[in-house]
Amino acid sequence: MRKCDICNGSISGEESYFLTTKEVVTAEGYWRVVLPSFAQLWRQMGMKARVGEQLLHVVARIARLDTPWVVCLRCFGLFPLDPAERKSKAEEYLSTGKPAGGFALCRLEYKGTDIVVENIDDDAMMAALRAAAAADRAEGEA
Ligand SMILES: [Zn+2]
């Protein structure tokens, strides 16, 4: 059984939807779902987050993913995209393995304690950071 790339729940081929990394990371709704679990992880690790830097790190870790996303119907609901089209793209991807990649928005490198982010798509990275920051603020206010 395949796992949803967002919630990690099991999905069958018929319930799969195709997304690109850019579509995922520029959606505030995605960050609203995943940021709380990152925040929990930091707390468990005893990290007092410098929020801005942590956010860039988190965004870059996801934005560097080069392969297509295959997600469940519930997670696909976070994105205002045509379900029929994305379902057929997912079926094509799962049966042919194509498109295999080319969706990364940045590269991420660890140099000692430094995190070096090299953008591939500047505009998309800015949009992703804005979306994640907006979700982070919304969580802080909740
Ligand atoms: Zn899911």
The alpha carbon dihedral of 101, 32, 106, 113 has a sign of: negative
pTM: 0.89
Residues 94, 88: Cα–Cα separation, whole Å: 10
Residue 63 near residue 125, CB atoms below 8 Å: yes
Percent of the chain with pLDDT over 70: 93
User: Could you tell me which residue, 38 or 84, shows the higher pLDDT?
Assistant: 84
pLDDT value of residue 142: 64
CA of 17 to the centre of ligand 1 (A): 10
**CB of 56 within 8 A of CB of 117?**
yes
Contact between 72 and 9 (Cβ < 8 Å): yes
Calculate how far, in angstroms, residue 3's C-alpha sits from the geometric centre of ligand 1.
Answer: 8
Does residue 85 have a pLDDT over 70?
Answer: yes
Structure tokens at 38: 């990152």
Within 10 angstroms of residue 44's Cβ, the number of other Cβ atoms is 8
**What's the rounded Cα separation, in Å, for the pair 41 and 39?**
5
Q: How far is the CA of 71 from the centre of ligand 1 (A)?
A: 5
* Amino acid 11: pLDDT: 94
What tokens were used for 103? 């969706």
The model's pLDDT over 29-69, given as tens digits with 9 standing for 90+, comes to 999 999 888 777 777 777 665 456 678 888 999 999 999 99
Q: How far is the CA of 72 from the centre of ligand 1 (A)?
A: 4
**CA 114 to centroid of ligand 1, rounded, Å:** 32
Three-class SS of residue 58?
helix
Average pLDDT (12-30) is: 94
- Give me the pLDDT at residue 52, please: 62
Distance between Cα 112 and ligand 1 center (Å):
34
Closest residue by Cα to residue 69 from 113, 17, 31, 28? 17
State residue 55's pLDDT score.
84
